[in-house]
Amino acid sequence: MKQDVVVVGYPKSGNTWATRLVAEVLGAPSVGFFGAPKQKEVASEGADRESPYQVFKSHHPIQRIRSISKDAKIVGIVRDPRDVTVSGAHYFSLSKYIEACGAEPGLDKFEAMARTICDGGVYSHCTRSWPVAVADILDNDILMLRYEDLLSSPADELRKTLDYLGASRSQEAIDEAIENQSFAVAKKRHSGGKGETNRKLMRSGKAGSYTDSLSADQISRIEKACDAMMKKLNYA
């Protein structure tokens, strides 16, 4: 029986990259979306890897994950909600938001996602606001990783993850996993054919880009709605 490892976070928080990275360093398959074996999942890869682990991606509440697999090892991933807003705006359909909530002057994809972050909304797995979803990760006994720390200090974060999972890997193996899942290498790997959609989902892999896309008012509203949680996670 393989050990389930579930990487969970609010949509557009680096979930796909984190799932692949954890699977890569474990030498394990990234199986798909947790609890939905028939659903197509962009994070899936490495089906031929032999490992006592299998890694899944999820956006579910922690209680839902544990109801499916009480022994699953859960790794939470969080990201600055202002950057989540930008990434979500490029991913989710504005027309779906308008269909559910109505059109209004000045409503664009960034405004639709800003409101979703602050209050929850109609997009898949975004019915909860960002602070509520992140509180679910912090209030449970699981490992939490910040997307920004994975970007700046991936080796340290992977060692932390390996310790949590009770696994051990050499520094060489850790460095190789980081290189294989770097944005440049992964984009090249997924270029062309069936991997093209996968590649397009990998936009920039940067932190702090929200200043180029969101209005001052949108940033202010997000910071106000998410203030306590942002402070707790050291998001200035």
Q: What is the pLDDT of residues 153-195, one digit of tens each?
A: 999 999 999 999 999 999 999 999 999 998 787 777 655 555 5
CB proximity list for 156: less than 8 A, separation 6 or greater = 149
In which band, very low, low, confident or very high, does the pLDDT at 59 lie, cut at 50, 70 and 90?
very high
Residues 118 and 177 in one domain: no
CATH number of the domain bearing residue 52: 3.40.50.300
Q: How far is CA 190 from CA 13, 42, 144, in A?
A: 20, 10, 28
- Report the pLDDT value the prediction gives residue 200, as an integer from 0 to 100: 47
**Could you tell me the sign of the dihedral formed by the alpha carbons of 182, 154, 13, 105, in that order?**
negative
Residues 214 and 168 in one domain: no
Domain that holds residue 216: 81-129+206-236
pLDDT for 234 beyond 80: yes
3 vs 229: CA distance, rounded Å: 31
- Report the pLDDT value the prediction gives residue 208, as an integer from 0 to 100: 83
pLDDT for 224 beyond 90: yes
Residues 12 and 73 in one domain: yes
**Percent over 90 (pLDDT), the chain:** 83
